[in-house]
Structure 1
Amino acid sequence: MNHPLVSIIIPIYKVEQYLRRCLDSIVNQTYTNLEIILVDDGSPDGCPQICDEFAAKDNRIVVIHKENGGLSDARNAGLNICKGVYISFVDSDDWINPQYIDVLIDIATKEKADIAISEYIKTTENNRKKQNIIFKKNFSSKDALLRLFSKNNIAFTVSWGKLYKRELFSSLRFPIGKYHEDEFTTYILFYNSKKIVYTSEILYYYYQRAGSIVSTRHPWDILEYLEQRYIFFKEKKESDLLPLLLPPLCWQLLCAYWHQSKNKNISNNYLNKLRFYIKDFQHIKKPLLHYIPLKIFAYIPQLYLIYRRISPLHIRKEF
């Protein structure tokens, strides 16, 4: 069996308490042909020393010490030097099953897939979920995108928990300074793939800490990626995806207007953009539960402001 080199990129910042657990799970993979890239993103704790300690014991490890630039910048630093045929990302407070790479590279090569996706579990050291029946499913690029834009799609959305062919990143990098950076990139990776394979086997252990990036919503970045992905697929003339992408963008624009009014900084910029996008409903299959209230609120925004004050629930309450 061919054993192609796999590059695992780990961005590291202020995770001294969890880093050894993460690195132990990587160096002890049953698949051994690895390039393990540790990107010390200017961590002010003991992480740089731990990285150097592991590198001294394992010649597969490459350490990058750099000034702090954020998660995207750290991942990009790893992408810029990696040599693997395949690439995987692991966050430094998470850990992986000993067979994580073995399973993913096996299904990727057998199915001739550009991306292999594993299931994950949100967990702590003392909380392990029992594995359900394991199944595998192949997706075309279009089917994977439909799954990505549906509910319960976290395993598909995030950058970690996957194995990618290196060429998918030949002209793509993570956006610097953005939260939810996965949302800016995953749909492009799926679009540029011919085949994607998913396994329900739990191989990635996701540990969400209080104060971690994903524990807080960042609504302006959410609005930006919603608009970017809608424009992307509109330009690609992917008409069957637009009904899924347009409503959340329009609701988020309304939320932005509400946020401005709440802070007494009312501007019509978001309303004007909303009205512009609402016109696109004329050219796609209209989800009426979205189209009718959106059109009313776009032209009588006072009704929306009243609605937000009296209703504790909202279709997209990101702000």
Structure 2
Amino acid sequence: MLPKVSVVVPIYKVENYLARCVDSILNQTYLNLEVILVNDGSPDQCGKMIEEYAAKDTRVKAVHKQNGGLSDARNYGMKYVTGEYTLFVDSDDWADLSMIEDMVSTSLSFQADVVQSAFYYAYEDHLLFDNRYYSQDDPPVILNNKEVMSELVINERVKNFAWGKLYRTKLIKDIPFKKGVLFEDVFWAHKVMHQVNKYVILNRPQFYYLQRSDSIVATYTPRNLDIIKGLKERHSFIEGHYEGLIDESYKVIVRTCLTHFNLLLLNGQKDKGGIHKQEIKNYIQTHAAQFNKAVKKDKELKKQLALFLIHPYLNVGFLAAKKLLRKIKLLPRPIGLERINT
């Protein structure tokens, strides 16, 4: 008999998206599923909706808890997992109907610990597919432990996202998500990948990652700085286990710090007294030697860091000038993603 796949879906205030998500799971061509729908204290109709699903389909477990956030809901859902494999799906995303069958087949064929599906960034009227590294028709990519950790740190071919990946349950059952933080996957993914011997990437996109219309500038708060905390925590882990990735990890940290300094500038009213900007500035200055070593082969980042260390506003001016030159077509636009109209 084919192995059981447990699908954990944390749910909060998504009544407009929930049916599309759950239907895409229950209608999979792969039938040996248990679908754990975790109502994280949602104040809308989501709790009632998941009870209706459970009444209609014996594969569905509807569970309810007080609101505790995405990490807490995933951790709670893991208590009910009995499958050999586990898949996380966020409740506003959805999947092609053959995705799980393809992922299980791949895992069995390659004896993989984790199988990753390619995905679309799903907007209201179009999809975007990241075709910079692989074509949809390319064969599966097989990575060993060191390769997958390297790709995870670079965060291009292997993203930090927990969703869209089929995990052997034994690999993740004792690695809970960190509660009370944003960007919880950054605190979690490296601990999982450290256990991986074989990781397989499927290049045909079968997962749809919904892009909400709210811009990061409009919705930005200092809680977004959790990503820097997560990257620092991961860096300590890398220093202890993957010495060859230290510079790459520093590069990601400095790029993220520069980005968030600029976002704080745009949201000055949310950074009273400039406390968070000063923290970032102090951190970059304190680690300037390590950062300069890490970015020396990255011409663009090297320039941004040098300007920031002279004065942060010089980097802001540099980026603004580049944006203007692209707008008036004196500089080429960066390579974009493939657009598919729907």
Report the TM-score, using the length of structure 2 for normalisation.
0.78
Using a 3 Å threshold, how does the CA distance of structure 1 residues 91 and 256 change in structure 2: closer, same or farther?
closer
Q: How does 1:89-238 map to 2 (within 5 A)?
A: 89-123=88-122, 127=126, 132-150=136-154, 152-153=156-157, 156-211=159-214, 219-236=224-241, 238=242
Does the alignment pair 1:67 with 2:98? no
Q: Is the 8 A contact 1:10 1:37 kept in 2?
A: yes
Cα deviation digits, residues 40-84 of structure 1 (max 9, x gap): 111111111110001001111111111111111111111122111
Secondary structure (helix, strand or coil) at the match of 1:240 reads helix
Q: 1:292, CA displacement in angstroms? A: 7.7
**In the alignment, what sits opposite 1:30?**
29
**In the alignment, what sits opposite 1:21?**
20
Deviates more, 1:193-202 or 1:262-271: 262-271
Q: 1:146, CA displacement in angstroms? A: 2.4
Q: 1:245, CA displacement in angstroms? A: 1.1
Separation of aligned partners in 2, 1:292 and 1:94:
38
**In the alignment, what sits opposite 2:5?**
6
Separation of aligned partners in 1, 2:303 and 2:191:
31
Unaligned residue ranges in structure 1 (runs of 5+)? 315-319
Secondary structure (helix, strand or coil) at the match of 1:91 reads coil
Q: 1:86, CA displacement in angstroms? A: 0.7
Q: 1:239, CA displacement in angstroms? A: 2.3
Separation of aligned partners in 2, 1:28 and 1:169:
26
Using a 3 Å threshold, how does the CA distance of structure 1 residues 252 and 127 change in structure 2: closer, same or farther?
closer
Q: 1:213, CA displacement in angstroms? A: 9.2
Q: How does 1:29-68 map to 2 (within 5 A)?
A: 29-68=28-67
Identity %: 33
Q: 1:215, CA displacement in angstroms? A: 9.2
**In the alignment, what sits opposite 1:317?**
none
Unaligned residue ranges in structure 2 (runs of 5+)? 130-134, 323-342
Secondary structure (helix, strand or coil) at the match of 1:163 reads strand
Aligned length: 309
Report the TM-score, using the length of structure 1 for normalisation.
0.83
Give 1:49's aligned amino acid. K
Using a 3 Å threshold, how does the CA distance of structure 1 residues 151 and 68 change in structure 2: closer, same or farther?
closer
Cα deviation digits, residues 234-258 of structure 1 (max 9, x gap): 122x222112111332354566677
Give 1:7's aligned amino acid. S
Q: 1:265, CA displacement in angstroms? A: 3.7
Using a 3 Å threshold, how does the CA distance of structure 1 residues 136 and 49 change in structure 2: closer, same or farther?
same
Cα deviation digits, residues 127-161 of structure 1 (max 9, x gap): 578994252111112212222333644x6321111
Cα deviation digits, residues 158-212 of structure 1 (max 9, x gap): 1111100112223311121222222222222222211101111221122223349
Cα deviation digits, residues 252-291 of structure 1 (max 9, x gap): 456667758x654468654553344334469879547456
Separation of aligned partners in 2, 1:276 and 1:81:
45
Q: Is the 8 A contact 2:87 2:163 kept in 1?
A: yes
Q: 1:85, CA displacement in angstroms? A: 1.0
Counterpart of 1:277 (choices 281, 287, 310) is: 287
Secondary structure (helix, strand or coil) at the match of 1:16 reads coil
Q: Is the 8 A contact 2:37 2:60 kept in 1?
A: yes
Deviates more, 1:159-168 or 1:184-193: 184-193
Q: 1:229, CA displacement in angstroms? A: 1.5
Using a 3 Å threshold, how does the CA distance of structure 1 residues 273 and 310 change in structure 2: closer, same or farther?
closer
Separation of aligned partners in 2, 1:265 and 1:65:
40
